[in-house]
Structure formats: structure tokens, C-alpha cells
Copies of this chain bind each other. A is one copy, B any other.
Amino acid sequence: MDILSVIGIALAFVAILGGNFLEGGHIGSLLQLTAFLIVAGGTAGAILVQTPIDTFFRSLRMAFWIFLPPKIQGQAAIEKIVSWSNIARKEGLLGLETLAESEPDLFARKGLQLLVDGSEPEAIRNILEVELGTKEHQDTQAAKVFEGMGGYSPTIGIIGAVMGLIHVMENLADPSKLGAGIAVAFVATIYGVGLANLFFLPIANKLKSVVHVQTQFREMMVEGVVSIAEGENPRNIETKLQGYLSG
């Protein structure tokens, strides 16, 4: 559970709506269906044109990470790799075969399988790094879907605002119709800027951080598996991998 995400969203709402209240404004002035239709629909349209379909669905799945990020347990993983290295020393690489079959993490399992197959260290590194790079690229692209929405929504907000002003200009003679145009103009601006800066961009950046942590974790896994293939001693492997967690 990512507690900062919860606090952050709550705090932003309290600040904006509380500010509106203190100023003596009605919450109703900030709820405007037409403005929402223009900004949300236009932003969604732009992002759908921009995004390949795989990336789009991946970004929907990744959105949950804002509240429930994948658990990454670096320390436990180091212990696991060191235990593999001990087994490899005592029983040979073939001793890892049963572990490989029961390993839940698919990336680690691929590494173990390559060890059991007796692949060369450099070959193992190349194969795992291609996979790591592919995953990192795809996850980063999915995180950038939110970045893209954060780029489009303020400009679509401007379109909504100018459309509202056109409406105002056309009805200058009939003051009773002015209100609708002005409301759409201002509220579309708030929706566009607010969605971008309170949701889309912070979400994109949080997701990028999660992707970076995952990639670091997988790089540590690669380094560990390759070190086992090179027959390095378990203590050195532990020292090396600790560097990925320190700070």
C-alpha cells in the first residue's frame, strides 16, 4: 500500500476545495459537465491516437501500482541468490534444477534455467539483458501514457476555454447567456491544468520510479546469476549485490 499516494490525493482535494470554500465559493461552480466532457474526452482521444494498443492496456494495469506497487524485496533476493551460489558450489550447476522449476519469478527462473543448461556467463548476460531491456522499455512507455495525458489535458483545457469565450462573444447582447460560456472557459482551464498537475504527471513519475526500482532489481538478479556462472565465491557475490541496495 503506497500511503504517500493516498495522502497526496487527499491533500490536493482538501487544499483545492478548502481554498474554494474559504474564499466563499460554491463547490457547484467547480462542477461543470460540458467542460469535463471537452477536457476528458479530448485528452482521451489524443492519447488513444498516440498509444499502441498493447501499451494502452499495460498502462491501465500499471495504474493500480499507484496504490499497490509490486513488492520488491531486495534483501531477500540477495539471500536467495547467495543460497543458489552455495548450492552451485557444492552440487554443481545441475543442483539448481529443482529450484529452477519451482521459482515463482519468471525472470529469475529464466536465469536459473540458463545456469542449469551450462550456458557461458557472457551468453547468460546477453540473453537476460535483452529481456530486461524489453521489459523496461515497455513499462516505461506505459508510464509515459500518463505523461502524455498530462501534456495534452492543459492544452485541451485551453481549447475548452476559448470555445467558452466564443460563446460569450456571440451572446454579448444577451447577458443571461453569458454565464454558461464564462463558466466553461474558466472551469475547462482548471480541469485541464488540474488533471495534469494533480493526477497525470505525478502518476507518471511515480510509475517511472517503480519501473526504475524493478529494473535495478532485475539488474541485480542478472549480476548475481552471471556471478554464479563465473563461479565467484558466495561472499563476494553478496558484497557486490549489496551495492544495489545501499544508499
Contact = CB atoms under 8 A, between A and B. Distances in A.
A8 B243 contact: no
A182 B23 CA distance: 11
A22 interface: yes
This chain's copy number in the assembly: 5
Q: What is the predominant secondary structure among interface residues of chain A facing chain B?
A: helix
A170 to B, nearest CB: 6
A8 to B, nearest CB: 3
A55 B77 CA distance: 21
Given A25-B166, A163-B25, A243-B134, A15 B2 contact: no
Contacts of A126: 240
Given A4-B48, A29-B166, 16 more contacts: A4-B52, A8-B45, A11-B48, A12-B49, A19-B35, A19-B184, A20-B163, A22-B33, A22-B37, A25-B166, A46-B201, A51-B206, A128-B243, A141-B209, A151-B201, A152-B201
14 contacts: A5-B49, A8-B46, A12-B49, A15-B41, A16-B41, A23-B164, A23-B180, A25-B166, A26-B170, A127-B240, A134-B243, A163-B190, A169-B179, A169-B182
Interface of A: 2-5, 7-16, 18-20, 22-26, 29-30, 33-35, 37-38, 40-42, 44-53, 55-56, 66, 110, 114, 119, 123, 126-128, 130-131, 134-135, 137-139, 141, 148, 151-152, 154-156, 158-160, 162-167, 169-170, 177, 179-184, 186-187, 189-190, 193-194, 196-199, 201-203, 205-206, 209-210, 212-213, 216, 223, 236, 239-240, 242-247
